[in-house]
Amino acid sequence: MQLGDSKLILSKTHNPNYLEGQQDQFFEQQRKAYNQIMSLDSSDFERSIRGGFLPVNMDTLGRRLSQEYKEYQDQYNSPPISDRFDTKDYDSARFMQLSQDPHAKVEVYHKKTVDEARSAIQAEILGFINGVNRLPKPYCQSVDLDFVISGPSPFTHMDIKHPVGSAILKKQKQNVTLRQASSDLGKTISRQKKYFCGLEQGPKNRKNVLHIVDLCYVPAHEKEIVKEFCIRGVGSSEGILFLNT
């Protein structure tokens, strides 16, 4: 699967992936997220409008949530290396919920988890997935996949990768070529598709695991290289969705 001309399907707070009896917990998380965003000390977040928040795009909110995410953008992605999907027409509270580190005992937002949430919401808005949620505790400790999803069939679980281009590899002093890094990513994806199968709350088989490879940190002239060598590393393009191509 790759991005194409898809009808925009906006995702709101209703999430069919929650089991019966968990609705109260879900809406309590939404309420806490609302209170948190409204308490942020910034003119972007001080005002509200009826029915929700003052619209801000996902990058702006991500920078407010995570200093680590902000520093990464400033150091490695300024000006932006590549065009990245962004919108103000999304559920801010849900974005915050998905951006939290699911392993942490307190609310923590990392660069990695914010990026994962951005990619997941993008894929959902564009209609490629639905019903995305973090794996609940304690299962997220043993099933190291980023999200559970309710579709499309046969996918029940999803993991997100953010490869980088050669400029960022150089800045990070990684002694590896772009082709090798992309191939290694593909091999990681291949292992991950089967590693957690059969565990409680894990996928039944590798075909249930969707991998999103978001190319937002790869410049336009290197995207095809990353895609080609990633697929070579996996051995197949089955169950892989490339975003921001």
Residue 160 reports pLDDT greater than 50: yes
Mean pLDDT of the chain: 85
Q: Please give the Cα distance from 54 to 60 (Å, whole number).
A: 12
Residue 45 reports pLDDT greater than 80: no
Q: Where are the beta strands (DSSP E) in 22-80?
A: 48-49, 52-53
Question: Residues 43-57: what's their mean pLDDT?
Answer: 53
Give the SS3 label for residue 142.
Answer: helix
Selected residue with higher pLDDT from 46 and 217: 217
Residue 55 has a pLDDT of 74
Give pLDDT tens digits for 59-72: 999 999 999 999 99
Domain boundaries, the chain: 23-243
Question: Residues 209-221: what's their mean pLDDT?
Answer: 98
Pairing of strands 157-161, 209-214: parallel
Predicted structure pTM score? 0.80
Residue 237 has a pLDDT of 97
